[in-house]
A and B are shown apart, each in its own frame.
Chain A
Amino acid sequence: MKLEAIKQVKGTAVPVAGDDIDTDRIIPARYLKCVTFDGLGLALFFDERFGEGGKPLGHPVDAPEYKGARFIISGNNFGCGSSREHAPQAIIRAGYDVIIAGSFAEIFFGNSTTLGIVCVTLPDAERAELMALVKKDPKSEFMLDVEARTLTAGGKTYSVGIKDGARKAFLDCTYDSLAQLLSGKDQVKELEAKLAYRF
């Protein structure tokens, strides 16, 4: 595992409007039939992007002006629904590593953090401003400063919400938790031995 600390992210943004964008929309269940996460980027938002017979529906992620974006701007309760890690895997494999939303569903938030996707929150009015900005000028550069908890775009700096634990993990490079967990092996053994139940 080679992890790098995440301090700042720079790039353009794609608007994905709507509240309650659930994990079935992020990646329909039929794409969960896989034994590796490779190639899942292509399945991102699939049924919102393509209609019958593969007809493109004009989803913003397919619009040429938003090609190469690293930020997704969306609504409230992003990532609600299933615990499938395939959803953030599809997002990061499609090239996005920051999501700006009103709020995030918890399991999705945890899964995303582990993968190094930074999930930050902004109130409705400020997200609406950013949506308007990228619709007007898709090439507007966004700069997220994880340490300072700020997002700069369109000549304005916004204070973003980012959970303390996630922020610290990005800065300390411990967002993939396995190494930390493994280092507590002896304490785990001790606790397990005292537990009131086993099979």
Chain B
Amino acid sequence: MGKNLFQKVWEKHLVRELPSGQSQLFIGLHLIHEVTSPQAFAMLRELGLKVAYPDRTYATCDHIIPTDGRERPFADPMAEEMMQAIERNTKEFGIQFFNPESGAQGVVHIVGPEQGLTQPGMTVACGDSHTATHGAFGAIAFGIGTSQVRDVLATQTMTISPFKVRKVEIKGKLGEMVTSKDVILHVIRKLGVNGGLGYAYEFCGEAVENMSMEARMTLCNMAIEGGARVGYINPDEVTFEYLKGRPYAPKGEEFEKRKEYWKSIASDPDAEYDDVVVFEASEIEPMVTWGINPEQGIGISETIPAPKNDTMKEALEYMKFGAGDKMEGKKIDVCFIGSCTNGRIEDFRMAAKYLKGRRVASHVRALAVPGSYEVKALAEKEGLDVIFTEAGFEWREPGCSMCLAMNPDRLKGDQISASTSNRNFKGRQGSSTGRTLLVSPVMAVAAAVEGCITDCRKIFGGVK
């Protein structure tokens, strides 16, 4: 029997088994940001410890940073304090900080890959649950808490127990305007928000092989929303092509040599899995959520199901929707395109393609927030910013923005947002009664233009 990628990467990074029965695992790349790291650095200082491997640690700021301007000090004094803390901490402990001045700042899960830091066969950790994103490269990436950030800073290792591996195969080809966001919302709906507990998800199949790196990152990004802390895809030529020429990727001969390693860690054809699930790509429609967790979603042609449990009842009450309602036609107030889920260049290209020559409905506030300065610069070079602004979108500076509303970008009252982000929890977008509908960038643009949730295929059919 062969091995899967998870097993191979785990073995290469296993330091030892601890007396507790847990494993001490080496972390090849540690990414940090301003929200979950300050307490970890405070603990290091208190204990008189240094960062063990500063050259394996990289920082950015994304959660609290305002996206409407970069003037310092920030208007929010707490945000300013957190920014100063990460500036001080990275300087004192000798860590590379991708700040706004570097031109590389952005959402941590966008910056790592575009800098070429994230590579196949690595272990990656970051104090953020969407770290699974990096699994798109064939890395094993863990979201961790602040005490573990401290552990990784101090030792470059963490305690963890191995996961089971579930192969999630998406067979066949995706339909028109059906994106990897729709795929992952479909998978979560079918397997449940806690269906992945104890598992790493290996995504594979024709539909996944045909995806770009950006689309693969969207897919892995939301593994955690299905309860799986880790999601990954075996590396292939698409992965290697993406990495070529990136600042921190190996160069020349070293690249070819590293490629051998990258290829070697892919799952063997006869690899063993703890579970296998197969979905047909042709059955996946553009998706939209109607409830308060990512499992509560439907295909655009469906109706909201009758509540089967208290959580569903609670969701309908909070969202002010009824069982049997179609999501098509639900009026929106805000459209948010961005986040670590859908804030990459391809997302903006896709959105702009359909937005071109159209206008955002007059009652809708629309925000386009590039995931990084690199995404922003590339988009502007291609003229995408003009398409967005002419259509009535605000074109912002990079950051997490309205995905979790730690900065000033927030919903008001019970506004409804069509959002390309990853969580539709109660209050997630900054208002304790705000309502979030998770969608793909194409569905978000369709909703912005029509002013209500719409089947993107109906209005954009035939757009080249």
B20 within 8 A of A: yes
Chain A residues, CB < 8 A from B63:
32
A145 within 8 A of B: no
Chain B residues, CB < 8 A from A105:
194, 197, 227
Chain B residues, CB < 8 A from A180:
18-20, 24, 159
In this complex, the interface size class of chain B, counting residues with CB under 8 Å from chain A, is 35 or more
**21 A-B pairs (CB sep. < 8 Å):** A18-B310, A22-B426, A24-B425, A24-B426, A24-B428, A29-B406, A30-B430, A33-B406, A35-B81, A80-B227, A82-B128, A82-B404, A85-B127, A111-B148, A177-B158, A177-B159, A178-B155, A180-B24, A188-B26, A188-B157, A191-B26
Which chain B residues numbered 284 to 325 have a C-beta less than 8 Å away from chain A? 293, 309-311, 314
State the CA gap A29–B426 with chains docked (Å). 11
* Best-buried of A29, A114, A174 by chain B (most CB within 10 Å): A29
Which chain A residues numbered 58 to 117 have a C-beta less than 8 Å away from chain B? 76-77, 80-86, 88, 103, 105-107, 110-111, 114-115
Instruction: Please tell me if the beta carbons of B39 and A36 are within 8 angstroms of each other in the complex.
Output: yes
B415 within 8 A of A: no
Which chain A residues numbered 160 to 199 have a C-beta less than 8 Å away from chain B? 164-165, 168-169, 172, 174, 176-178, 180-182, 184-185, 187-188, 191-192, 195-199
Which chain B residues numbered 43 to 68 have a C-beta less than 8 Å away from chain A? 47, 52-53, 55-56, 63-64
Given the interface contacts A18-B311, A77-B194, A106-B197, does A35 sit within 8 Å of B151 by beta carbon? no
- Identify the stretch in B139-147, B231-239, B269-277, B377-385 within 8 Å (CB) of chain A at 4 or more residues: B139-147
Chain A residues, CB < 8 A from B194:
20, 76-77, 80, 103, 105
> How many of chain A's residues have a CB under 8 angstroms from any CB in B?
60
Given the interface contacts A18-B310, A81-B425, A198-B55, does A107 sit within 8 Å of B15 by beta carbon? no
- In the complex, how many angstroms separate the beta carbon of B263 from the nearest chain A beta carbon? 12
Given the interface contacts A25-B427, A33-B64, A35-B81, does A199 sit within 8 Å of B55 by beta carbon? yes
Instruction: Please tell me if the beta carbons of A187 and B15 are within 8 angstroms of each other in the complex.
Output: yes
Chain A residues, CB < 8 A from B20:
165, 168-169, 172, 174, 180
A34 within 8 A of B: yes
Complex: chain B residue closest to A51, CB-CB = B432
A11 within 8 A of B: no
State the CA gap A169–B18 with chains docked (Å). 11
User: Known pairs A18-B314, A82-B404, A169-B20. 9 more at Cβ < 8 A?
Assistant: A20-B193, A24-B427, A33-B78, A37-B146, A84-B35, A85-B36, A177-B158, A180-B24, A181-B155
B154 within 8 A of A: yes
A174 is contacted by which of B19, B47, B121, B229 (Cβ under 8 Å)? B19
A28 within 8 A of B: yes
Instruction: Please tell me if the beta carbons of B129 and A83 are within 8 angstroms of each other in the complex.
Output: yes
Chain A residues, CB < 8 A from B248:
199
State the CA gap A107–B146 with chains docked (Å). 11
6 tightest A-B CB contacts, nearest first: A111-B145, A85-B145, A47-B432, A85-B146, A33-B78, A35-B38
Given the interface contacts A25-B426, A114-B145, A199-B248, does A19 sit within 8 Å of B13 by beta carbon? no
Chain A residues, CB < 8 A from B144:
83, 107, 110
Chain A residues, CB < 8 A from B160:
110
A181 is contacted by which of B28, B159, B310, B427 (Cβ under 8 Å)? B159
Which chain B residues numbered 2 to 30 have a C-beta less than 8 Å away from chain A? 12-13, 15-16, 18-22, 24, 26, 28
State the CA gap A169–B20 with chains docked (Å). 6
State the CA gap A17–B26 with chains docked (Å). 39
Please list the residues of chain B having a beta carbon within 8 angstroms of any beta carbon in chain A: 12-13, 15-16, 18-22, 24, 26, 28, 35-36, 38-39, 42, 47, 52-53, 55-56, 63-64, 76, 78-79, 81-82, 85, 117, 119, 121-122, 127-129, 131, 143-148, 150-151, 154-161, 193-194, 197-198, 224, 227, 229, 248, 250, 258, 261, 293, 309-311, 314, 404-406, 423, 425-428, 430, 432
- In the complex, how many angstroms separate the beta carbon of A197 from the nearest chain B beta carbon? 6
Chain B residues, CB < 8 A from A1:
47
Chain B residues, CB < 8 A from A165:
20-22, 161
State the CA gap A168–B21 with chains docked (Å). 8
Chain A residues, CB < 8 A from B159:
177, 180-181
Instruction: Please tell me if the beta carbons of A164 and B21 are within 8 angstroms of each other in the complex.
Output: yes
- In the complex, how many angstroms separate the beta carbon of B223 from the nearest chain A beta carbon? 11
State the CA gap A84–B34 with chains docked (Å). 12
Chain A residues, CB < 8 A from B193:
20, 77, 80
B129 is contacted by which of A20, A82, A177 (Cβ under 8 Å)? A82
State the CA gap A29–B188 with chains docked (Å). 23
Instruction: Please tell me if the beta carbons of B293 and A107 are within 8 angstroms of each other in the complex.
Output: no
Given the interface contacts A35-B85, A37-B39, A169-B20, does A178 sit within 8 Å of B156 by beta carbon? no
Chain B residues, CB < 8 A from A164:
21
- In the complex, how many angstroms separate the beta carbon of B30 from the nearest chain A beta carbon? 11
Instruction: Please tell me if the beta carbons of A81 and B423 are within 8 angstroms of each other in the complex.
Output: yes
Instruction: Please tell me if the beta carbons of A29 and B151 are within 8 angstroms of each other in the complex.
Output: no
Complex: chain B residue closest to A163, CB-CB = B161
Chain B residues, CB < 8 A from A174:
19-20
- In the complex, how many angstroms separate the beta carbon of B429 from the nearest chain A beta carbon? 9
State the CA gap A199–B121 with chains docked (Å). 14
- In the complex, how many angstroms separate the beta carbon of A198 from the nearest chain B beta carbon? 7
Instruction: Please tell me if the beta carbons of B404 and A29 are within 8 angstroms of each other in the complex.
Output: yes
Instruction: Please tell me if the beta carbons of A84 and B36 are within 8 angstroms of each other in the complex.
Output: yes
- In the complex, how many angstroms separate the beta carbon of B56 from the nearest chain A beta carbon? 7
Given the interface contacts A32-B406, A174-B20, A181-B158, does A83 sit within 8 Å of B81 by beta carbon? no
State the CA gap A20–B22 with chains docked (Å). 27
Chain A residues, CB < 8 A from B293:
20, 22, 80
Complex: chain A residue closest to B14, CB-CB = A191
Chain B residues, CB < 8 A from A84:
35-36, 145
State the CA gap A103–B121 with chains docked (Å). 31
